[in-house]
Structure 1
Amino acid sequence: MTKKAKLIPRSVPATVEIDTAILAAALRRIGYIADKCPTSPALDHALIRPVGADRVEIIGSNGTSELILTVAAKATGSVLVPIFNWARTSNGLRGLTTIVQDDKTVSAIFAGSLKQSCPAVVVADFPRIPEFSPAFSFSSLCDPLAWALQCCGASVGDGKDTREYLRGVHFGFDKVRAWEGLRLVSTNGHILTRCQLPEVEAVDCKLSAALNIIMPAYAANVAERMLLESDPEAKFTVEIESDKQMQISGEGWRVATLAVDGTFPDHLRLIPNKSKMPHTAVVPANLLLAGCKALSAGGGKADTVLIDFEKGGLTLTRRGEDVDAMHDIPEAKVDGGSYTCGIKLLNLFAAASLVDSEDDDNILIRCASADPTSKDREPILFENPDNPDFLFLAMPMVIEKQEAEPSTKAAEPKALPAPKAGKKSAPVKAEKPKQKRAA
C-alpha cells in the first residue's frame, strides 16, 4: 500500500488590517523598486509582515535591492499582495482594508465594500537581502544627499554598458578629511559628475582605511525619490558593510541593496589641472539652459554644439545633418581669448540642468588650449562658483577643420571624375523634359 503525499499549503493563513489610504501610498512607493516584468511571480508582490503590535513592514524587491516601509497596521502573519493591481484599486478610497490569506488565495475588502482576490504566492519565494552588521555609518540632512544623487543620476551608465561598475553611484570617503567628507561620483565614460557632502557626521566607523562602494543606479534612484518625498530638515542614515552591501534609511523607510561588483575608476586622474585651462566663461545657469532648449527645438540632442569663446560672450552653434541653429549669450563673461570647443548637446543640457537656475547661480566653463580638431584633448569642466562641492566634466567632440575655422567662401560643387587614359568619354546626352499627359 503506497503512502499518500502530504498536501503542503501554498501559504500560511494570516490577516492584515490597514487603513486604505496608507496601503495605497505604500504600494505606490513600493512600485518604485518593483520590476514591471519580473522574472519571478513573487517580485511583483509586496511582502507585509508584522514587526510589532501595531506596526508592519511593507517590502518590495527586485532581487538585489529592496525598499522597506514601516507603517501603522495590525497583522497576524506574513502576506504577499499584488503591487500594481491593488495600488490602482485602493487609490482614492477611504476606510479600513482587511486582507485575508488562506492556503490558496489572498483576498482584500477595500474600504469595507470593494473585494478582490488573487492566487496566493508562497512567502518563502520572496527574495530578501540578508541582514548585516555595518562597518561604517553616518548621518546628515536629507536634502543634500537627494541633491547629490539627483546630480549623479545624470551621468550613470545605462543598461547597455557591459561595464557594471559604471552603472552605479560611487560612495567614497576623503582620506584628507578623516571620514568627515562623503563624495559621490558617477560616470558613463563620456561625462562625469562629482558631488561632495562635507557636512556629514560619522556615527560609527570600524574601518582603518578609506571606504569605496558602488550603489546600483536603480537603488540610488529609489533612495533619491524617497529623500525628495521626506522632510528636507529630516535626517537620513547610511550604513555600509565593507564593499558588499549598504542601506540608506530615513523616517519610516529604508533602501537596502547589494553593491555593484567591480572597481570604480580613479576619478581624480580624469580631472585636468585647472591651471592649464586658460579659456573660461562665467554664464548664468538660466541663460545657458535657455540656450540649450532653443537649440534642441525639434530634436537633435545627439548633435554637436560648438561653443565659441569670444570677447562679446558665448555663441552656441548646433551642427546637425538637417539644420544648423545658433544662440548667443552676450551676458557671459569670457576670459582667456578666443577659442572653440565641441560638445554633445545632450551633455551640455545635462551640465546646465544640474546647476540651480532658480537661485541665479552661475556656471563656470573651463577649456584647455588643445587643438579642437585633435583627438588628444582635455575634458571640458563645468563648475558652480557658488557651490565648490559640485563638478561636472564632459569629453569634447572632435571638430572638423572647416567647423573650427569657418570659411566665408561657399562650398564648391564636386567635380566629375576625370576619364581614364586611353578611353574616350562618351558624350552626355541632354534629356528632354517629360511632359504630362492632359487629363
Structure 2
Amino acid sequence: MRATLERAHLLKPLSHVQRVVERRNTIPILSNVLIKADGAQLTLKATDLDLELVETVEAAVDQPGTITVPAHMLHDIVRKIPEGARISLDTNADGSTMTLSAGRSRFALQMLPESDYPDITAGEFTHRFKLAAGDLKWLIDRTQFAISTEETRYYLNGIYFHSIDVDGIKMLRAVATDGHRLAQAQMPAPEGAIGMPGIIVPRKTVGELQRLLDDPDGEIAVELSDTKIRVTFGSVVLTSKLIDGTFPDYDRVIPKNNTKIMQVDRVDFASAVDRVSTVSSERGRAVKLSLADGTLTLSVVNPDSGSATDELVVDFDSEPIDIGFNSKYLLDITGQLGSENATFALADPGSPTLIHDGDAAKTLYVLMPMRV
C-alpha cells in the first residue's frame, strides 16, 4: 500500500476511530486500526467487538492495499507532526511494517494481518429512517446524564429509544434512568421509525454519537435490527451492538397526580442550589427545600463543616412542604431545561417529584427525594 494525504485530513478521522479502541486489550488485533487504500480514498476502521467506527477520507493512492497498525500510537504520531505537512504511508515488501513519512520524520510501525481483523456489521437491518443530526443530538443531550453506571443493572446502562403514540401522534422517545432520576425526551417520529423495536443504545455508543454529531445541520441515516444499530453521518459509519435486556416499565414511576406546583426562575434556582451545596458532604450532597407562602428556603447542614441557607421568591400556593434532594441531580436536571422557569410538581417528602420547563410535551424529568 502507498498513499499520501494532508496531516489534517488524516488526523480528524484518526481522532474519531482511536476513541473506540480500548487502551488495554487481551486481543492484539483490537489495538489496531484497519486502513484500506482504494481508488482516491483511505478508509479507517476501529472496533472493540461491541462498537465499530468507519470513516473515509480523500487521499492520493499510488498503490491500493489494506493494513492494520496500532491505533493510539498512529494517532499520537500524526498529532505531533507539524500542521500543513503531507504524510505518506508505505508498506515494506514483506508486509510486516508500515513506514510513515512526513518531512524529515520517519516512523516504522509493526503491522498485524488484516485477515485477522473482526467485522461486526453482518446481519439484516429491519428498520431505516432519516432525521436531522441536531434532533438526535438533542434527544441524547437531554437524557444522557441519567444513564446508570451500575454494571449489575446492565439494562439501564444506555438510552432506551422507542416509538410511542402520544395523543394520536407518533413520537420517537428517548428515556434514561439510574433508579434515582429519570430523563425523558421526545419528538415527532420520522417516517420509518414507526413500529421500530424498542432498543437500548449502550453508554459508550451514546458518548461517541454525542461527539460525532457536532454539526447539527446535517442529516443522518439510522438502521436498526433487534441486536444492532447503524448510524451513517457524512463520511462516518458507526455500527454498535445493542444492550440485550428489557428496559423497565418507566411509565409507572412518572407521577401523574402531583398537585403541589412550584414555579421558579431556573437560573436563580440553580445558582442557589450550587451556593448552598458548597458545604454539603461529598457523599450525601443533600439539600433541603422548604416551601411555604411563595418562598423557597434551601438549606444544607453538614455536621463536619457547617451549614448554609438561601431564599428565593417562587410561585407556590399549596400546603407547606419540606423535601430533600441530591444537589448534583438537581443541577443536572435544571441544566437540561430550556425555558426561563422550571416547574416542580410535588406530592409529599417521600414520593418522586416531576420536573419540567414550559414545554412538558417535549421533555420531563423525575427525581427521587432524599431523607434530610
Per the normalisation by structure 1, the TM-score is: 0.77
SS in structure 2 of the partner of residue 134 of structure 1 = coil
Residue 272 of structure 2 aligns with an amino acid whose one-letter code is G
1:74-85 map, 5 Å? 74-75=60-61, 76-85=64-73
> CA offset at residue 176 of structure 1?
4.8
CA contact (8 A) 2:280 2:301 kept: no
CA contact (8 A) 1:174 1:210 kept: no
State which of 192, 196, 208 in structure 2 corresponds to 1:222: 208
Render the CA deviation track for 1:320-364: whole Å, top value 9, x for unaligned.
3423443434242223231111111221121122224xxx53211
Structure-2 separation of matches of 1:324 and 1:380: 28
CA shift in 2, pair 1:389/1:251, >3 Å? same
Aligned Cα RMSD in Å? Answer: 2.2
Structure-2 separation of matches of 1:386 and 1:321: 40
Structure-1 separation of matches of 2:72 and 2:280: 33
Q: Is residue 190 of structure 1 aligned with residue 180 of structure 2?
A: yes
State which of 262, 267, 279 in structure 2 corresponds to 1:281: 262
Structure-2 separation of matches of 1:316 and 1:252: 50
State which of 90, 94, 113 in structure 1 corresponds to 2:84: 94
> CA offset at residue 204 of structure 1?
7.2
CA shift in 2, pair 1:282/1:182, >3 Å? same
CA shift in 2, pair 1:176/1:348, >3 Å? closer
State which of 345, 349, 356 in structure 1 corresponds to 2:331: 349
SS in structure 2 of the partner of residue 21 of structure 1 = helix
> CA offset at residue 40 of structure 1?
2.3
Aligned to 1:363: 342
Aligned to 1:237: 221
Q: Is residue 105 of structure 1 aligned with residue 92 of structure 2?
A: no
Residue 293 of structure 2 aligns with an amino acid whose one-letter code is K
**Structure with the greater alpha carbon radius of gyration:** 1
> CA offset at residue 30 of structure 1?
1.8
CA contact (8 A) 1:303 1:319 kept: no
> CA offset at residue 144 of structure 1?
2.3
State which of 354, 357, 369 in structure 2 corresponds to 1:381: 354
SS in structure 2 of the partner of residue 163 of structure 1 = helix
CA contact (8 A) 1:319 1:325 kept: yes
Structure-1 separation of matches of 2:354 and 2:202: 26
Residue 68 of structure 2 aligns with an amino acid whose one-letter code is L
CA shift in 2, pair 1:59/1:176, >3 Å? same
Residue 395 of structure 1 aligns with an amino acid whose one-letter code is M
State which of 265, 281, 284 in structure 2 corresponds to 1:300: 281
Render the CA deviation track for 1:227-263: whole Å, top value 9, x for unaligned.
1x22x2211221101x211122211212210110110
Q: Is residue 62 of structure 1 aligned with residue 48 of structure 2?
A: yes
CA contact (8 A) 2:277 2:285 kept: no
CA shift in 2, pair 1:177/1:336, >3 Å? closer
Render the CA deviation track for 1:291-312: whole Å, top value 9, x for unaligned.
2321333663532111111224
Structure-1 separation of matches of 2:245 and 2:308: 42
State which of 233, 242, 249 in structure 2 corresponds to 1:250: 233
Render the CA deviation track for 1:101-126: whole Å, top value 9, x for unaligned.
2422122113x331111211222333
State which of 167, 179, 184 in structure 1 corresponds to 2:157: 167
Aligned to 1:30: 17
> CA offset at residue 84 of structure 1?
2.4
Q: Is residue 71 of structure 1 aligned with residue 71 of structure 2?
A: no
Aligned to 2:316: 334
Structure-2 separation of matches of 1:329 and 1:210: 47
Q: Which runs of 5 or more structure 1 residues have no equivalent in the other structure?
A: 1-13, 400-439
Render the CA deviation track for 1:197-224: whole Å, top value 9, x for unaligned.
22x422477xxx5520111110011001
> CA offset at residue 74 of structure 1?
4.2
CA contact (8 A) 1:135 1:204 kept: no
CA shift in 2, pair 1:177/1:81, >3 Å? farther
1:118-157 map, 5 Å? 118-157=109-148
Residue 253 of structure 2 aligns with an amino acid whose one-letter code is L
Structure-2 separation of matches of 1:353 and 1:277: 22
Residue 69 of structure 2 aligns with an amino acid whose one-letter code is V
Render the CA deviation track for 1:65-90: whole Å, top value 9, x for unaligned.
01221211245111223322232322
Structure-2 separation of matches of 1:33 and 1:178: 40
Identity rate, percent: 22
Residue 26 of structure 1 aligns with an amino acid whose one-letter code is P
CA shift in 2, pair 1:331/1:173, >3 Å? same
Range moving further from structure 2, 336-345 or 173-182: 173-182
Render the CA deviation track for 1:353-390: whole Å, top value 9, x for unaligned.
2224xxx532111111x3x3xxxx32111111145311
SS in structure 1 of the partner of residue 362 of structure 2 = strand
CA shift in 2, pair 1:249/1:283, >3 Å? farther
State which of 226, 237, 251 in structure 2 corresponds to 1:268: 251
Aligned to 2:191: 202
CA contact (8 A) 2:33 2:68 kept: yes
Structure-1 separation of matches of 2:54 and 2:279: 42
Structure-1 separation of matches of 2:121 and 2:239: 10
How many residue pairs get aligned? The number is 365
CA shift in 2, pair 1:385/1:130, >3 Å? same
> CA offset at residue 179 of structure 1?
8.4
Residue 170 of structure 1 aligns with an amino acid whose one-letter code is Y
Structure-2 separation of matches of 1:176 and 1:277: 20
Structure-2 separation of matches of 1:151 and 1:32: 23
